[in-house]
């Protein structure tokens, strides 16, 4: 287990990619911890702007542009009221946040949000890991993505090929073909015309995710595109002391003109990599 010592969030230069997290002074004066002046981070992606609060991973990356907004890679920590921020730091395109709720689960969660160039404009990868100091604990953690889209197309990558399936139905909860996938497969969901005309592709490996659900909400009184919530559950419901579990979820943002091509490339890239610790 890592030491329970809080250190001030630091910013280092020399990012390996063209995208870097930048410190943003927090306007929340209710917090009195040492890191409150540098725990909010900004990123600019063309005409899109986003921020991330290392103290509040359940808010994820708040991304907005052209009167539309999305919440990406929000880590739903267990027992939010008992949550304790342990440590956090930033190096170029990597932002890390460590939390451990003060409850019987004693589940320490480490979240790494990584900015990188990819097959499109930008790929944001969340690498999530958990371990417990209890003899046994519930290790399950959910990650939420909430975003608008005019259409969602699911795809399944196995080996060197990706098969696109029919678009998601227009209302209600969608039954994704998650449990029928082979262990080495990748599920890719392409959200079209989401933010500032861009498309977003969200990819997850079958051997790293535990469950995936997609819900669509349409408000008849509003002309905006419908809103979708994608929830991905990670890690077993029973983990043992000292065993590290690690998984990831990636979001790729790009032009709608060739979104089927770069979304397929993003899914196949994830499928070609070895699985993380389970």
For residue 228, pLDDT over 50 is answered with: yes
Tell me the C-alpha distance between 193 and 226, whole Å.
11
Angle at 178 between CA 98 and CA 165, to 5 degrees: 120
Tell me the C-alpha distance between 159 and 104, whole Å.
42
Q: Are 64 and 70 in contact (CB under 8 A)?
A: yes
Tell me the C-alpha distance between 258 and 77, whole Å.
36
Residue 2, domain member (yes or no): no
DSSP result, 23-78 = EE----TT--STTTTTSEEEEEETTEEEEEETT-GGG-EEEEETTEEEEEEEEE-S
How does pLDDT run across 50-79, given as a tens digit for each residue? 999 999 999 999 999 888 899 999 999 876
Q: Are 135 and 268 in contact (CB under 8 A)?
A: no
For the chain, the C-alpha Rg in angstroms (whole number) is: 18
Residue 18, domain member (yes or no): yes
Residue 6, domain member (yes or no): no
Instruction: Provide the whole-model pTM.
Output: 0.86
Q: Are 203 and 120 in contact (CB under 8 A)?
A: no
Residue 118, domain member (yes or no): yes
Residue 216, pLDDT score: 86
Tell me the C-alpha distance between 40 and 93, whole Å.
14
Q: What is the CATH number of the domain that holds 218?
A: 2.70.98
Residue 36 banded pLDDT, cuts 50, 70, 90: very low
Which H helix or E strand runs over 262?
helix 259-272
Residue 178, domain member (yes or no): yes
Residue 80, pLDDT score: 66
Surface-to-core class of residue 187, CB atoms within 10 Å of its CB (0-12 exposed, 13-18 middle, 19+ buried): buried
Range with top average pLDDT, 69-73, 101-105, 219-223: 69-73
Residue 5, pLDDT score: 33
Q: For strands 11-12 and 85-91, give the pairing.
A: parallel
Token pair for residue 266? 């993003």
For residue 267, pLDDT over 90 is answered with: yes
Count of domains observed in the chain: 1
Q: How far is CA 45 from CA 65, 123, 195, 256, in A?
A: 10, 11, 11, 15
How does pLDDT run across 133-183, given as a tens digit for each residue? 888 888 899 999 999 999 999 999 987 789 999 998 866 667 788 989 998
For residue 222, pLDDT over 70 is answered with: no
Angle at 236 between CA 200 and CA 105, to 5 degrees: 110
Residue 193, domain member (yes or no): yes
Residue partners of 273: CB distance under 8 A and separation at least 6? none
What's the domain range around 37?
11-272
Residue 37, pLDDT score: 41
Mean pLDDT calculated for residue range 104-122? 90
| Mean confidence (pLDDT) of the chain | 84
For residue 203, pLDDT over 80 is answered with: yes
Residue 4, domain member (yes or no): no
Residue 278, domain member (yes or no): no
Mean pLDDT calculated for residue range 96-122? 90
Mean pLDDT calculated for residue range 187-197? 94
């Amino acid at each position: 287990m890592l030491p329970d010592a809080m250190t001030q969030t630091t910013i280092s230069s020399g990012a390996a990619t063209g995208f870097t997290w930048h410190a943003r002074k927090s306007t929340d004066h209710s917090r009195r911890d040492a890191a409150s002046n540098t725990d909010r981070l900004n990123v600019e992606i063309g005409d899109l702007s986003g921020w991330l609060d290392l103290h509040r991973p359940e808010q994820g990356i708040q991304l907005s542009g052209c009167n539309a907004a999305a919440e990406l890679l929000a880590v739903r920590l267990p027992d939010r009221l008992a949550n304790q921020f342990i440590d956090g730091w930033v190096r170029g395109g990597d932002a890390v946040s460590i939390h451990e709720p003060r409850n019987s689960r004693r589940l320490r969660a480490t979240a790494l949000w990584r900015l990188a160039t990819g097959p499109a404009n930008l790929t944001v990868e969340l690498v999530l890991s958990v371990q417990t100091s209890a003899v046994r604990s519930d290790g399950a953690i959910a990650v939420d993505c909430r975003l608008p889209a005019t259409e969602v197309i699911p795809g399944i990558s196995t080996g060197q090929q990706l098969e696109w399936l029919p678009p998601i139905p227009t209302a209600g909860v969608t039954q994704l073909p998650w449990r029928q996938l082979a262990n080495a497969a990748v599920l890719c969901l392409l959200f079209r015309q989401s933010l500032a005309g861009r498309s977003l592709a969200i990819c997850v490996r079958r051997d790293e995710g535990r469950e995936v659900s997609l819900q669509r909400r349409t408000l008849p009184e509003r002309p905006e595109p419908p809103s979708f919530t994608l929830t991905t559950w990670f890690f077993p419901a029973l983990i043992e002391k000292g065993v590290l579990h690690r998984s990831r979820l990636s979001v790729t943002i790009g032009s709608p003109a060739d979104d089927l091509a770069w979304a397929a490339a993003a899914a196949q890239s994830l499928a070609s990599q070895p699985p993380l610790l389970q």
